[in-house]
Amino acid sequence: RPGQATGESTEALDAVIVGAGFGGLYMLHRLRGLGMTARIIEAAGGVGGTWWWNRYPGARCDVESMQYSFSFDERLQQEWRWSERFAAQPEILRYAEHVADRFDLRRDIRFNTRVTAARFDEAAGRWLVLTDRGDRLSARYCVMATGCLSSARVPDIPGIESFRGRTYHTGRWPHEEVDFTGQRVAVIGTGSSAIQAVPVIAEQAKQLFVFQRTPNFSIPSRNRPMDEAYERWWKSDYAAHRRRARMMRTGILYHIDERSALDVPPEERRRVYEERWAAGGTAFMGAFADLLRNQQANDTAAEFVRGKIAGIVRDPATAALLQPRDHPIGTKRICVDTHYYETFNRANVRLVDVRSAPIEAITPTGLRLRGGAEFAADSIVFATGFDAMTGAVLAVDIRGRSGASLREKWAAGPRAHLGLMVAGFPNLFLITGPGSPSVLSNMMVSIEQHVDWLSDCLVHMRARGATCIEPTQEAEDAWVAHVAEVGGRTLYPKANSWYMGANIPGKPRVFMPYVGGVGTYREECDAIAAQGYPGFRMS
Ligand code: FAD
């Protein structure tokens, strides 16, 4: 019974799925299709994952709606209508709810329940999954669909508990409406969430302080109501367009210019950048083929965006602070905004540099920087991101063979074969885990690819009479080395990004996602399946 603890009795299932975001929902649907019994355990009060939690003002997808959606059901993709080029959080949440209803998924989801531990019982070949409500579930397969950006991070600033106003985290936004009218608001952080929230909060607040440690590159979204001709084009042959998208580097169908930025004359380069800037969105990074591989090429794009910032922001000192100079463009998640830089021209908005003078304390009435500067605030918004990719997985005490702990195994950085499975942890599956394209991609494409691959794998196992699968240590080591090697050929490791774990004090610095491209990765996974799963032991 969803939402109800089962006390001391143990519920027996074929699979437990942790998380009811898009990953968990689709996994449940596919497992049911295989005739398996499966249950999702979800900490939130509803489906949608990211889009259930991140209700902050301005929350929006930066992959186009026509592409940020499921492709597994033709009628679903034909019938659903998106209202905007880039959908806002409420609409994506409605979509997740629609999917849950349409495929009757809710009856197998237990909400408001957090998985705390999962232990592999070697003798029985089953996972025992425990929750914070006292549930005990026994399942042959355990699927961690826990999300790469679901473990919200609040920095450890002294005095935080003394603050007399209200505090918020963008990733844990309240369900009731938050009204900042007449307030002094402090936003801490200038990543993707802040860049979306700041322009909206600025319209309400009496005074807005934006506390910035590291500026990020942001491209205008040029969001607009859905163009009907564009929608018709997608829907005229959705399956074929999706097939092409799946083979793209990021799982997003857009034109990537195959030229090097350095092979074209400066005026042509500028024309290309202007065109991409005017079109809006992350496709900016497709302007030339080598932007993420060649520093000099990257510099041309970065310089172009810095020039745009200088052109938009009237106060030269503020413009200079907003211009990123410490990382190549695109090596931290590129942001997409609606009037972010313009917002700093408002009289009620002020950018505060906390690189030169860090936040020293939160006081009962606001924030204090090193050196003594004080900022009075009625509300503080933490737009401080997530313990990405590994945070939610490791929040669960996962024990594999011989009681070995995943936290210990990953102490020096995550290790997973294909980002999908871990040696020593049989029948444990990670959806969009570290070592897969994951956060570098259109996550809908990556989620479907993982869930489909796993489902096919389970069909294969069943045909062979196998019930247990585990990668070999050698295969895992080789994949982890490959992921590092491919990452090392790019500019990504140059940035102190959350891809590198750099936003979490003490987290090992490892470039976690696989940067070889969504299409290449799919081909590698498919080849392994076609060859009968070399690198995996089945029994
Ligand atoms: P999630 O949606 O994160 O769902 C995981 C669920 O697991 C959560 O509901 C969580 O509560 C639950 N959970 C975790 N641990 C436990 C536990 N121990 N017990 C019980 N439940 C648990 N991706 C894109 O491709 N394009 C975008 O433009 C984009 N924009 C984003 C904007 C924001 C603000 C954020 C935060 C993410 C964005 N993403 C984007 C990434 C987004 O997370 C994915 O696109 C997708 O929604 C992930 O789905 P998921 O099911 O894998 O994980």
Pick the closest to residue 251 from 522, 524, 528 (CA basis).
522
User: Where is 41: in which H helix or E strand?
Assistant: strand 38-41
> Which of left, alpha, beta for 355 (phi over 0: left; psi -120 to 50: alpha)?
alpha
What the block records as the tokens of 351 is 């950018």
Given a cut of 50, whether residue 153 has pLDDT beyond it is yes
DSSP code at position 177: -
Give residue 119's Cα distance to chain centre: 26
What's the confidence (pLDDT) of residue 375?
98
Using DSSP's 3-state secondary structure scheme, residue 141 falls into strand
Q: How far apart are the C-alpha atoms of 185 and 167, rounded to whole Å?
A: 10
What the block records as the tokens of 181 is 């009218």
> Amino acid identity, residue 120?
F
43 C-beta closer than 6 A to ligand 1:
yes
User: Where is 361: in which H helix or E strand?
Assistant: strand 359-363
Average pLDDT of the segment spanning 74-85: 98
The closest-lying atom of ligand 1 relative to the alpha carbon of residue 22 is 51
* Strand 184-188 with 207-212, pairing: parallel
Given a cut of 90, whether residue 506 has pLDDT beyond it is no
433 C-beta closer than 6 A to ligand 1:
no
User: Where is 449: in which H helix or E strand?
Assistant: helix 443-464
Pick the closest to residue 296 from 323, 341, 342, 263 (CA basis).
263
62 C-beta closer than 6 A to ligand 1:
yes
> Amino acid identity, residue 11?
E
101 or 8, which is more confident: 101
**How many CA atoms does the CB half-sphere of 525 hold within 13 Å?**
28
Cα–ligand 1 centroid distance for 147 (angstroms) = 4
54 C-beta closer than 6 A to ligand 1:
yes
What's the confidence (pLDDT) of residue 8?
67
Cα–ligand 1 centroid distance for 388 (angstroms) = 10
Given a cut of 50, whether residue 1 has pLDDT beyond it is no
**Residues whose CB is less than 8 angstroms from the CB of residue 473 and which lie 6 or more positions away in sequence, other chains included:** 423, 424
Mean per-residue pLDDT over the chain, rounded: 96
Ligand 1 pocket check: which of 110, 149, 398 to mutate, most ligand atoms within 8 Å of Cβ?
149
Percentage of the chain with pLDDT > 70? 99
Q: How far apart are the C-alpha atoms of 521 and 147, rounded to whole Å?
A: 19
> Amino acid identity, residue 477?
D
Point out which residues pair with 119 in neighbouring strands: 128, 399
- Identify whether the C-beta of residue 419 lies closer than 8 Å to the C-beta of residue 514: yes
The closest-lying atom of ligand 1 relative to the alpha carbon of residue 116 is 18
What the block records as the tokens of 343 is 């917002």
Residue nearest to atom 44 of ligand 1 (CA): 443
User: Where is 392: in which H helix or E strand?
Assistant: helix 391-394
Reported ipTM: 0.99
396 C-beta closer than 6 A to ligand 1:
yes
Residue nearest to atom 2 of ligand 1 (CA): 49
What's the confidence (pLDDT) of residue 7?
52
What's the confidence (pLDDT) of residue 493?
86
Cα–ligand 1 centroid distance for 217 (angstroms) = 23
Give residue 35's Cα distance to chain centre: 30
Pick the closest to residue 144 from 328, 18, 317 (CA basis).
18
The closest-lying atom of ligand 1 relative to the alpha carbon of residue 441 is 25
CB atoms within 10 A of CB 219: 23
Q: In the structure, what pLDDT confidence band is assigned to residue 2 with cuts at 50, 70 and 90?
A: very low
Q: What is the largest CA-CA distance in the chain?
A: 71
Given a cut of 60, whether residue 304 has pLDDT beyond it is yes
Q: In the structure, what pLDDT confidence band is assigned to residue 434 with cuts at 50, 70 and 90?
A: very high
Given a cut of 80, whether residue 160 has pLDDT beyond it is yes
Average pLDDT of the segment spanning 98-118: 98
115 C-beta closer than 6 A to ligand 1:
yes
Could you report the per-residue pLDDT of 123-136, keeping only the tens digit for each? 999 999 999 999 99
50 C-beta closer than 6 A to ligand 1:
yes
359 C-beta closer than 6 A to ligand 1:
no
* Strand 126-131 with 115-121, pairing: antiparallel
Could you report the per-residue pLDDT of 348-407, keeping only the tens digit for each? 999 999 999 999 999 999 999 999 999 999 999 999 999 999 999 999 999 999 999 999
